[in-house]
């Protein structure tokens, strides 16, 4: 069976308006992913899993989750927005693999302190920071090396 998926859905979904099946499915899928994913990719997953949710609903739900503070959003290099379920209330930063999307929380104390200091000393109000670390994770890097080897001849 396929019922071992996390489903802290019904409860959370109410936070963004009426509790509908679609919102529960979108949130459920987002939780399962455990990493950043684009609205379109999430929609593809839902459809593939036999949960035919409309793309606009996915967008609307994700936007609502972000506004409600239940999801984080970052901007990929190509401009796509990537969403991630936010389990706790803290503000974190991630190191994201540009190949496979794997995301790793990183220790962000120094950046937080740096940003706080700039906020204090700059005279600016309501200072926010967005920090995105990206790279190629060990797995993908290994695969890339193998491909490169093949390409230049065995």
Partner DNA sequence: GTTTTTGCAAAGCTTTTGCAATCCG
Partner DNA sequence: CGGATTGCAAAAGCTTTGCAAAAAC
User: What spatial distance separates the first Cα and last Cα of the chain, rounded to whole Å?
Assistant: 44
Site string for DNA, 71-100 (x = CB under 7 A): --------xxx-------------------
Query: Can you tell me the distance from the alpha carbon of 36 to that of 109, in angstroms, rounded to the nearest whole number?
Result: 22
Pair of tokens at residue 70: 């239940």
Other residues' Cβ atoms within 10 Å of the Cβ of residue 122: 9
Phi, psi at residue 19, to the nearest 5°? Answer: -85, 100
Residues from 80 through 139 that contact a second copy (CB under 8 A): 81, 95, 97, 104, 106-108, 110-111, 113-115, 118-119, 122-138
Hey, is 93 helix, strand or coil? strand
Compute the distance between CA of residue 92 and CA of residue 86 in angstroms, rounded to an integer: 9
* Site of tokens 């499915």: 25
Pick the closer one to a second copy by CB: 19 or 136: 136
The least distance separating DNA from the CB of residue 71, rounded to whole angstroms, comes to 13
In angstroms, give the least distance from the CB of 36 to DNA: 12
Which one of the spans 59-67, 107-115, 121-129, 134-142 is the region binding DNA (CB under 7 A)? 59-67
Q: Say how many residues touch DNA, by CB under 7 A.
A: 24
Site for a second copy, rule CB under 8 A: 75, 79, 81, 95, 97, 104, 106-108, 110-111, 113-115, 118-119, 122-138, 141
């Amino acid at each position: 069976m396929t019922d071992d998926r996390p489903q802290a859905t019904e409860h959370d979904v109410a936070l963004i308006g009426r509790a509908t099946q679609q919102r529960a499915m979108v949130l459920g899928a987002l939780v399962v992913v455990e990493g950043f994913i684009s609205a379109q990719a999430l929609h593809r997953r839902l459809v593939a899993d036999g949960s035919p949710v409309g793309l606009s609903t996915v967008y609307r739900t994700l936007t609502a989750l972000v506004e409600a503070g239940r999801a984080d959003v970052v901007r990929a290099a190509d401009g796509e927005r990537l969403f991630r379920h936010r389990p706790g209330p803290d503000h974190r930063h991630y190191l994201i693999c540009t190949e496979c999307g794997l995301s790793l929380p990183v220790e962000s104390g120094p950046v937080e302190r740096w940003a706080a200091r700039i906020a204090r000393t700059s005279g600016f109000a309501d200072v926010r920071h967005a920090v995105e670390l990206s790279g190629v994770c060990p797995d993908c890097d290994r695969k890339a090396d193998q491909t490169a080897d093949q390409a230049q001849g065995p």
